[in-house]
A and B are shown apart, each in its own frame.
Chain A
């Protein structure tokens, strides 16, 4: 998450004080991402240094200082909003790793491992849904954050479902000749190397 750009977004609505920025930042993200005030002032200092924001009184530090966005700041904000985040390489996912390992450890029932994770993920989704049912009803920021989390967890569960089908299929089929898997290996290694 880019704190500088979210602060620029808040400043694009009009000049604001540091403490006010922190409050609005937290409210706008459904209070799911806490931000400490030191981080706010440090970021504002950097924005000022880079000419993306400016303050009323250059000689005074702390809560009395009011910040506003510059033309350069507006440009940087517009560019950031339209730049897709880098999702090109797969993250090093611990759960993926556990399922890969479970499939290889002798005496381990991979389906049981998958089921344990599935139940945990569903319980987490139930908790997020309670939030959606309560506070998020009248809080657009929170509703969007909760939806994002639910879709993310849902995707992980779907992957577990698919993994289970693949493992069952692999157990039922005779192992393939080694040449088939080795052909794909260089491509995978390249994917890994990009990170």
Chain B
């Protein structure tokens, strides 16, 4: 078994150990990730920042078990994905991992509530129970009153709230988001990050990929990626109090 990622502990929900991903064959190999270590704990929000082509999205698809690493290991809830059967992995994706996409990906023929309850129903949860859980998720995101609305009847901000509700519905423990604020204006984009951060406060671990520093700043930790390597990270931020002291006393 490979070495644990720095910072990994009992509360770690997602762990990447020396993850490498290459595409293509020699001599035209593209190295998307080169030995990435990352541990994300329950209740923690990590933002992954980097220029385009830095490997951000690859990191997310590998963390979500949508793709396999070329080498290295991915553990979700302490269990290595590599050893799991296809069926078990699919179950993990449905039950434990929630995804938020840039373009929302809501199904147009379903109401907001039906969209949110769908992953649970697909997983075999009885419809009334799935809908009740869906309603709870919509309430937590402040859009319970839009439960009966179809996606095209919702505003951009409401659609994204519904998409986040769908990602956290039930007992999801890992939230993966790729540029989750899409084309929203900066105030609404900030609102999306606030909601994701609140979900983390309720115990979810989240990885948010973004190129936008203002959105990344919502995270507890920011990891910088470049050419497939982690080149730096922020420390856990201190409180904002120091910003409010007059300059001469700082």
Contacts and interface: CB of A to CB of B under 8 A. Distances in A.
B237 A133 contact: no
Given A119-B224, A123-B235, A154-B214, A128 B219 contact: no
Contacts of B197: 133
Contact of B240 (A130, A157, A158, A161): A130
A28 to B, nearest CB: 15
Contacts of B234: 119, 122-123, 126
A124 B234 CA distance: 10
B246 A34 contact: yes
Contact of B217 (A31, A119, A125, A158): A125
A135 B241 CA distance: 11
A138 B234 CA distance: 28
B216 A122 contact: yes
Contacts of A158: 213
Contact of B232 (A31, A119, A134, A150): A119
B51 interface: yes
A126 B219 contact: yes
Interface in B172-203: 190, 194, 197
Contacts, number: 68
A150 B237 CA distance: 15
Q: Chain B: interface residue count, which band? A: 20 to 34
Secondary structure call for the A interface: helix
A20 interface: no
Given A130-B237, A161-B51, A118 B224 contact: yes
Interface in A104-151: 115, 118-119, 121-135, 150-151
Contact of B239 (A31, A118, A130, A153): A130
B240 A122 contact: no
Interface string A159-186: 0010000000000000000000000000
A32 interface: yes
Contacts of B243: 32, 124, 127-128, 131
A122 B217 CA distance: 7
B231 interface: yes
15 contacts: A119-B233, A122-B213, A122-B216, A123-B235, A125-B217, A127-B242, A127-B243, A128-B243, A129-B217, A131-B244, A133-B197, A134-B240, A135-B240, A153-B213, A154-B212
Which A-B residue pairs are the 3 nearest by beta carbons?
A125-B217, A131-B240, A126-B237
Given A123-B235, A126-B219, 17 more contacts: A34-B246, A115-B231, A118-B232, A119-B234, A122-B216, A122-B222, A125-B213, A125-B214, A125-B217, A126-B217, A126-B222, A129-B217, A130-B239, A133-B197, A134-B240, A135-B240, A151-B214
